[in-house]
Structures are given as structure tokens and as C-alpha cells.
Amino acid sequence: MNTLMETHFQLPGQLSKYTGKVREVYSLENDILVMVATDRLSAFDVVMPKGIPFKGQILNQIATQMMKATEDIVPNWLIATPDPNVSIGQLCEPFKIEMVIRGYLSGHAAREYSKGIRTLCGVAMPEGMKENDRFPIPIITPATKAEMGDHDEDISEEDIIARGVVSADDYAQLATYTSSLFQRGTELASKQGLILVDTKYEFGKNKDGQIVLIDEIHTPDSSRYFYADGYQMRQDRGEPQKQLSKEFVRQWLISNNFQGLDGQLVPTMSDSYVQSVSDRYIELYENITGKTFVKEDTQNIQERIQSNLNSYFS
């Protein structure tokens, strides 16, 4: 099970390299970024010791498809995808928040709600909701962007503006883009028999001061999907929803006494469990995109990527 856990490329005009939880980003001359999606798996803001075969390819290809499907709503950073694991785009100054939007009471919101909390990021949540119920209208619940190893933190619009993280005018534009992107994502999901439950978007400003969409969108790492078929029946019966996201990984970790808290040890993932996670990611890809997943050659992923990058830059 060959996986891409880290990269060590030397690219033309390379200035620096940044390592995130899942992606490695190379900054080149002329405001060019090369973003490599690795097979690392992050949950509860902790990177798991083992990689997931084909995960990077899956995330990058979904994100690329979704960028192209939303470029009429907001400009994005993407220029080219010379390798299944690689995206090349324009350098932007990222906003230091993630724009999280929730259409349903699930995941983190549901866990907070179960504690009796009724306000999330300054946004009121209605009384009397059950886990996985639909909100009357989607709510935006931003989070601060964490450095590797740190935890994202909820933050309200008021605090974002008061702290000078984002200006009031820019935040208003981010919120508008977020709502429009979520609506488009909802429509795309519906065509595949899915419900887009919640997701996050990241934005930045390019050298011209224009707000652009960056990073990944509508992938199983950044989004949660339910199967539409049987959703209401399961809600009425109080049954768990059948979902497409990496929530199944989080639930497995929780069942093995890990939620990323101090002193907790990451449980050991057997090879069979790792393979099952890979199979689930392929299922996610095919259900989200409606396309058959084509596995790329992973005999030597680094050499393949380096060769494709050399061809692109030459």
C-alpha cells in the first residue's frame, strides 16, 4: 500500500515550502503555488501515523472538478492540474479564517448542541432540534485557521471584525460567496442523490486585491454529505444517517478513546482498516462526482509527480 506521506521536490524558481496537515505547498517565483495533496489523514486536527492509499488523488480531483463548477460564482486560484495529486495556482494572501457553513445539525454543531449550547459562533440555533435535522436556513459558523498540530477554534463574525482578522466589508463579501457556493454545492449534490450537510471554504486575496477561492472545496475532508434516499425516514425513526464524509473516521477514533485531547494516544490502524478507509474514499469520490475512480500508478508516486511537474514547467 504505497502512500504519499511527504514530498521533497526541487522546483524551478522555488522560494519556500509549507507543510500543512494534508497538503504541501511550494511557493515559486512569479506568484505561483504548487499544492500537493498527500495521502495523510487528519482528524481532530491530528495527523494519523498511516497514510490512506489514493486519498490525495481523490481529494485533488474532486476539488479540481468543484472549482471548475463554481468559477462563475467566485474566481479561484487554480491554473492547472499537471498530476492527479497536484494543483498549480496563483499565490494569494489567505484570510486567517475558515468559512464554515452548516445546513444541518451535525458533527461539531450537534456535539455542542447536545451539551445544551444554543449559540454557535454568535449564531442562534433553534430549540427542539434533533441531530441531523435541517436548519431553517444554513448558518455560517467561522473558525480560526490552526497551524499544524493546533486546533481550529470557533469565532463569531463580531470577534473576527473586532480583532481585525477580516474587515467588515471583506467579511460581508466572504459570507455572500459562502452562501452562494453552498447553494451551488447543494444543487450539485442533489443531482447525485446526496445532501450537502456542511462544508468549509477558504479565501484569499491575489496581488490585485481580488478575493478568490483557495484550497479544496466540496471534498469528503472539507464537507459532510448524507444520502438523500431515506433521509427523512431515518430522521423520523431516530436512526443515524447514512453519510459520505470522514466522520466515519472520527467515530472510529472516538470509539477507540481518541478525540485529539492532551494525553490521548492515537489508536493503531491495522492494514485492513486502512484499506477499508481507502475503499470508503473511493466510494465518496464516485458518489460525489458520478464518475468511476481511476487509480493512478502508485509504484513510485514521488517520481511520477516529479516527472509530470518537469513536463509542465518545461
pLDDT tens-place values along the chain, 314 residues long: 799 999 999 999 999 999 988 999 999 999 999 999 999 998 888 889 999 999 999 999 999 999 999 999 999 999 999 999 999 999 999 999 999 999 999 999 999 999 999 999 999 999 999 999 999 999 999 999 765 445 578 999 999 999 999 999 999 999 999 999 999 999 999 999 999 999 999 999 999 999 999 988 998 888 999 999 999 999 999 999 988 777 788 889 999 999 988 899 999 999 999 999 999 899 889 999 999 999 999 999 999 999 999 999 99
Domains along the chain?
Answer: 14-93+269-313 (3.30.200.20), 94-244 (3.30.470.20)
Listed in sequence order, the residues at least 6 apart from 10 whose beta carbon sits closer than 8 Å to its beta carbon are none
Residue among 278, 293, 288, 283 nearest 1 (CA): 278
pTM: 0.87
Residue recorded with cell 436548519: 135
| C-alpha cell of residue 144 | 480560526
The CA distance from 158 to 202, in Å, is 19
Output the CA torsion sign for 72, 75, 78, 84: negative
**Reduced to 3 states, what is the DSSP secondary structure of residue 26?**
strand
Contact between residue 309 and residue 266 where contact means Cβ atoms under 8 Å apart: no
- Locate cell 479564517: which residue? 97
